[in-house]
Amino acid sequence: MSLNSSVITPGLSLLLVAVATSGLGCLAAGSTEDEVEVDQRESAACAGSPEWQEGHWYEAGAVVNYQGSAYIAEHGNPGYIPTVSTYFWEPYSGCSGDPGPTGGSCSYPQWQEGHWYNAGAVVNYQGSAYVAEHGNPGYIPTVSTYFWEPHPGCSGGPGAGGGLPAKVVAGYYPNWTPSPVRIRDISSNYNLIYLFAAKPVGGSPGTTGAVYWTPPGDGRGAATNLNADIQYARTNQGRKIILSVGGAGAGMSFPTRAKSQTFVDSVVGIYNSLGGFDGLDWNTFEADQDPDTGEMIWISLELKRRFPGFIITAPPAPWNNRDKTFCKAMVDAGAMDYAAPQYYDGPGLDQQSYIVTSVNEWVSLLGPTHVVVGFGIWDQQNYMSIGEAVPTWNQVESNHPTLRGAFDWQIHIDESIGWQFANQVGPLVKY
C-alpha cells in the first residue's frame, strides 16, 4: 500500500446527495405480528433517553428526544438536527420499557413462510431483524435480498451489528501472505481489520465495474477457516471487518451509473460469499485516476442503504489536495465515516513534526472524529519504529482528544515484530 504523489487529478464533479429515510422503530412488547407503519410525526419522546444536544457526537443506534419526539441515529454524526438531517436520524417508536439510548432489544414478530409482508414490515429471522424493502409473500430474508434488508433499529440485531467503534485500532490484512495468522487469532487490541485488497476485474480502471477478492494463503488455516473466522471476529470478538478495494496501481473509474451498479452488485456478492462484513475501504489513491466523486458518493450511500451501519473509509495521501477535496465531499455527503491519511512509505512522511502538522490540517478539514492516523511500523526506510510512533500518537491525540483512532500497515509485519503496534499504540488509542 505504498503512496504515489500523482494520486488523483483535478476536476471533481461533486454530487449533492440528500437521502430521506422513513421512520420505523421497534415493536413494543405485546405488539401483534401484523406489519407496523409509523408516521414520522407520531414518534413520542422516550422517557429514558437524553435530549438532543448540538455538537455532541452520537454513535449509530443512539436514541434522543428532540422537540417532543424520539429519534434514532442511523449513522454516527456530530449532533446534526434530527428533523433536518434525515439521512443520519429517523423517528423512533421503540420507547415502551426502553432502558436507554444503547441498551435493550426489540420484540419483532417471527418471519412466517407464506405470510404477506408489506413494505416496511420488520421481522425476526434466525436471530436477526429484517425490514421489507418491497412487499412480498413471505420470501426468505437471507435469500431474497431484493425484498429484505437487515434492520438496525435495536441492539442485538442484525447479525454482528453495525456502526463504527468509538475509537478505531485498525490494521491491514494483505491476502498475498502464504501462511498468515488466522483472523480470529489477530491481537485482540485490533478492533477493525481491513481485508486487503479487492481488485478491479480486467485491471485498472476496471472493465465492467466488478471487483474480485482472493483469499489469503492457507499455511496456518487462514483460508480454510476464513468465513468462520470472519464471523467469529464480528460476533464473538466484536471486531469490524472491512473490505479494502484497490491498492497499488488499482484505481477505478465510474463514468456511468451502470458501472457503479455493477460495482455495488459485485461487493454484495463478495459480502454474501464471506457471510457478511462491515464496510468498504476506498483504497484507490495509488493510480493516476480521477475520482468520479458523484458516483462514488452514490455507491457508498447505496451500500449504506443496503447494509445499515455499513462503514466507508479511505486512506488518502496526506499531502494531496485532490485527495482532500474528495474526502471532504464524501464526508459532507454522509458517504464516508473517516479518512485515514498514510504516514509512511514516502520521504519525510514518517517524521513526527510532519505528521503533527498534517493531522492538524486534516482535522480542520473533516473534524477529529472523521480522521484516523495511518502508521507504518517497520525496520525499513520511511517507516517508523515503535519508539517513534508512541510519542507521535501521544502528541496528535493531545492536540485532538476526539481523533477517531489509528491504523497500522500491516498486520503480518506487526505479528512478526511481536505485535508492537497492537500492544503499545492500541491501548493508547482505546483508553
pLDDT single digits (tens) 260-303: 999 999 999 999 999 999 999 999 877 677 899 999 999 999 99
Give the pLDDT confidence score for residue 31 in this predicted structure.
34
Strands (E), 105-201: 122-125, 128-132, 148-150, 168-174, 192-200
Q: How far apart are the C-alpha atoms of 361 and 351, rounded to whole Å?
A: 16
Whether the CB-CB separation of 305 and 17 falls below 8 Å is answered with: no
Average pLDDT, rounded, for the chain: 82
Among the ranges given (18-27, 219-228, 306-315, 328-337), the one the predictor scored with the smallest mean pLDDT: 18-27
Give the pLDDT confidence score for residue 364 in this predicted structure.
96
Among the ranges given (65-79, 233-247, 287-301, 377-391), the one the predictor scored with the smallest mean pLDDT: 65-79
Q: What percent of the chain has pLDDT over 90?
A: 56
Residue type, 44: A
Assign 30 a pLDDT band (cuts: 50, 70, 90): very low
Assign 119 a pLDDT band (cuts: 50, 70, 90): confident
In DSSP terms, 192 is beta-bridged to 170, 240
39 vs 377, more confident = 377
Mean pLDDT of 106-128: 75
Q: What is the CATH number of domain 168-430?
A: 3.20.20.80
Closest C-alpha to 205, from 151, 263, 161, 148: 263
Q: How far apart are the C-alpha atoms of 100 and 110, rounded to whole Å?
A: 24
Give the pLDDT confidence score for residue 287 in this predicted structure.
63
Mean pLDDT of 23-29: 31
Closest C-alpha to 135, from 151, 150, 115, 154: 115
Mean pLDDT of 301-325: 93
CB atoms within 10 A of CB 99: 11
Write the DSSP symbol of residue 421. I
Give the pLDDT confidence score for residue 227 in this predicted structure.
94
Q: How far apart are the C-alpha atoms of 312 and 15, rounded to whole Å?
A: 17
160 vs 412, more confident = 412
148 vs 253, more confident = 253
Q: Report the DSSP pairing between strands 405-408 and 168-174.
A: parallel
Give the pLDDT confidence score for residue 183 in this predicted structure.
97
211 vs 34, more confident = 211
The per-residue b/e assignment along 309-333, b for 16 or more CB within 10 angstroms, e otherwise, is: bbbbbbbbbbbbebbbbbbbbbbeb
Strands (E), 43-127: 63-66, 69-73, 89-91, 122-125
Give the pLDDT confidence score for residue 216 in this predicted structure.
96
Give the pLDDT confidence score for residue 355 in this predicted structure.
98
Domain edges within the chain: 168-430
Q: Say if residue 349's pLDDT is above 90.
A: yes
118 vs 422, more confident = 422
Give the pLDDT confidence score for residue 375 in this predicted structure.
98
Whether the CB-CB separation of 164 and 338 falls below 8 Å is answered with: yes
Q: Say if residue 97's pLDDT is above 60.
A: no
With a CB cutoff of 8 Å and minimum separation 6, the contacts of 110 are: 33, 123, 124, 125
Whether the CB-CB separation of 172 and 192 falls below 8 Å is answered with: no
